Amino acid sequence: MEACCGPARADDGVPCERTVPARRQASRGMVRGMVRVPGGTFLMGGADPDAHAGDGEGPIRPVRLDPFLIDATCVTNAQFATFVKETGYVTEAESIGWSYVFRPFAEAGIMDASVPGAPWWAGVEGANWRAPEGAGSSVGARQNHPVVHVSWHDARTYAGWAGKALPTEAQWEMAARGGLEQARYPWGDELAPKGRTRCNVFEGRFPLAPSRGTVPVKSFQPNGYGLYNAVGNVWEWTADWWGTSWPAAADNPRGPAEGTARVIRGGSYLCHDSYCTRYRVAARTANTPDSATGHTGFRCAALI
């Protein structure tokens, strides 16, 4: 796991466990905005030459899943605001008082919280889901953008409140593939077929400021199952521990110890082909459950 994909918060003793039981059986009212994935057997993982050593993308193996539902989009700022209004929930970034922001986006409140090997990240006081770049910023004009600066605990709590759950890594990958077998991306093998951009990844010279950060959750065409922005835009939390759902990852000398980090999938607007091609469907990495960044969000799933 590399810090460029999601810097981890050091253990600072702040309580972070938030327990809300999740109903895993879908009810009629909660399926709005979800798509059905038929289940069955698919080939999970990849053997891509662009894979990062130790990420555990392989071996390719058949995985069988029961049918399930998954959100067509990542949870938006508007949806998360409804959850907070109804529950009074306070995210971990708000409780701790800071979160990680892409340094070119940060204007004030930069802390002495540099990330080894990834100086483009900065700990920023006051950065949270309401103020993605720190004090003075807001999500007022970004209601239909994915919520960010949410930890795994925050995402799981939202999912439980909604009567859903975070998708397993296998569910996420099956859904992201959209019915295509071993395609590199959710739409096929070309990043920009016929010159048409299909996802939100870094454009420009990294790590200078990109032309944009997050984009609305329905900015590009959906895949074959109806999922929008399955790759790019924001990393997405899954239910699985790193090193347990995918045994090969346990041998990664650069990654987190088994059982200390949760898998994230999909890449983000900071992925760039010059150093990080983790916007491929098979790509994966992880972060500690209490960590929050300006490029990580989530979507929910439920059994049918």
Tens digits of residue pLDDT in 244-268 = 655 444 444 445 666 789 999 999 9
In a domain, 71, yes or no: yes
Residue-number span of the structural domain to which 278 is assigned: 41-89+143-303
Q: How far apart are CA 194 and CA 262, in angstroms?
A: 36
In a domain, 13, yes or no: no
Domains held by the chain: number? 1
Residue 294 and residue 101 in contact, taking contact as beta carbons nearer than 8 Å = yes
What are the angstrom distances between the C-alpha of 183 and each of 52, 59, 176, 202?
18, 15, 10, 21
The DSSP letter of residue 33 is T
In a domain, 5, yes or no: no
CA 198 to chain centre: 17
DSSP lists the bridge partners of residue 59 as: none
The DSSP letter of residue 139 is S
In a domain, 121, yes or no: no
State the CATH number of the domain containing residue 200: 3.90.1580.10
In a domain, 152, yes or no: yes
- pLDDT given at position 77: 98
In a domain, 227, yes or no: yes
Q: Is the pLDDT of residue 68 over 90?
A: yes
- pLDDT given at position 246: 55
In a domain, 134, yes or no: no
- pLDDT given at position 179: 98
DSSP lists the bridge partners of residue 265 as: 236, 284
In a domain, 100, yes or no: no
What are the angstrom distances between the C-alpha of 178 and each of 77, 122, 281?
25, 35, 10
pLDDT digits (tens, 9 = 90+) for 31-54: 889 999 999 999 999 998 888 878
